[in-house]
Structure 1
Amino acid sequence: MARKFRVVINNKEYIVEVEEMGSSPIVQSIRPAVEKPQIAEKPQPVQPKKEEQVKVEQAKQPAPTKVGGVEVKAPMSGLIVKVHVSEGQQVKRGQKLLVLEAMKMENDIISEHEGTVLKVLVKEGDNVETEQTMLIIG
């Protein structure tokens, strides 16, 4: 029995027909479908009137970091084994913040910033997911 699937790769759509033969599926045919159009807006030039003065835009300044501080996120899911810092504690760059156990290995999470620990969001024995915020340093 042949089955058809729509597959999109790099904004190109393909119709793939697959027929099951024995226990492993084999691709029978691949044909490109209609490519999705990419819509790009063209900027319209603005021409000032002769009476108007042309203003020069100032260079944009980089966006400030979050007012709440820098979030220290879990690089992988695992178990918090040890928390080495507490709220209000000063930390230096390179200082060990906590220990995260993942796949039977203990990983030291070290500070990439100097500052004060504003918030500790985990405790020993907590399970964390990848990219979960564990600490906030201000």
Structure 2
Amino acid sequence: MVRKFVVRVNGKEYIVEVEELGTLGTAAQAIQQTQIVEQPKPVVQQPVQSAKPTQPESKPAKQESTPVSTGSESGGGAKIVSPMSGVILKVLVSEGQKVEYGQKLVILEAMKMENDIVADKSGIVKKIHVKEGDNVDTGQVLVELE
């Protein structure tokens, strides 16, 4: 399948056709089969809007997170794992606390964004594996529910 892309380099626009080789092709083969067709197009300069957040930079932006868990949910327990690498900003529950589905358990900062880690089911907090300030990796267990 051939796909066309418009690429802008140093203010000049190029139409690039890229042929998909499949999973066995290498990047070198893809480069050899790429055909660049220069087509004169006027480049329209548009004002760039600032992408800066409206809140102070010291406070990361908020992002809602979907429930993430692993483990034996048929056995009644669930392990809430980190969906990405980051730093634990706040632990919002304590061991023995009853939690409801969708309740925030932990706030994780990743790439200057706050991510709410929520319970994927109701239960009681069995064990908390992290504390504020901890660095966590993707898939690391944060909280166990029973």
Q: Identify the residue that residue 142 of structure 2 maps to in structure 1.
A: 134
Q: Identify the residue that residue 72 of structure 1 maps to in structure 2.
A: 80
Runs of 4+ in 1 over 4 A off after TM superposition: none
Q: CA separation of 1:135/1:66 partners in 2, compared to 1, >3 Å: closer, same or farther?
A: farther
AA matched with 1:88? G
- Structure exhibiting the larger radius of gyration computed from Cα positions: 1
User: Which of 20, 24, 32 in structure 2 is aligned with 1:26?
Assistant: 32
Q: Give the superposed CA RMSD.
A: 2.8
**Whole-angstrom CA distance in 2 between matches of 1:80 and 1:137:** 18
AA matched with 1:122? V
Gap runs ≥5 in structure 1: 1-7, 20-24, 28-63
Matched, 1:112 2:120: yes
* Residues 79-135 of structure 1: per-residue CA shift (max 9 Å, x gap): 000001111111111211010001111111111210001110111011111121111
**Whole-angstrom CA distance in 2 between matches of 1:127 and 1:15:** 38
Name whichever structure is richer in helix by fraction.
Answer: 2
Q: Identify the residue that residue 36 of structure 1 maps to in structure 2.
A: none
Report sequence identity in percent: 48
AA matched with 2:123? G
Gap runs ≥5 in structure 2: 1-21, 34-71
